[in-house]
Amino acid sequence: MRRWSIDELPQIINVLLGDMSLVGPRPHALAHDRAWGAKIALYARRHNVKPGITGLWQILGRKDLPMHANLQYDFYYIRNRSLTLDLSILLRTIGVVLSRRGAF
């Protein structure tokens, strides 16, 4: 299931309920929020947008990137979000999932 990212499908319910978006920063565990929030002043901006099932760091590296690089992609998305960017991320997500690149 993890290899094909099928375990992410139940999050569609959260999208339908309005708690999540298809595209946006991935939610982090509370421990990550505490650790990274203390180190990076911009970290709290991640909470100003709805979390997403997929995002930039999911298509540009997934688990192959260090956390600080993933956060930079989140900040870029927050500053530049648009319908065009969201559509691009959604389309590229399909290719990433099918290639299983960066999955664990």
Structure confidence at residue 54 as a pLDDT band (50, 70, 90)? very high
So where are the chain's domains? Answer: 6-99
Task: State both tokens at 101.
Answer: 């690149």
pLDDT tens sequence across 2-46: 565 667 778 889 999 999 999 998 877 778 777 777 677 777 778
Q: Provide DSSP, 38-88.
A: HH-GGGGGGGGS--EEE-HHHHHTGGGS-HHHHHHHHHHHHHH--HHHHHH
pLDDT of residue 5: 62
List beta partners, residue 54: 23
Residue 71 has pLDDT above 60, yes or no: yes
- Overall size of the chain counted in residues: 104
More confident residue, 82 or 9: 82
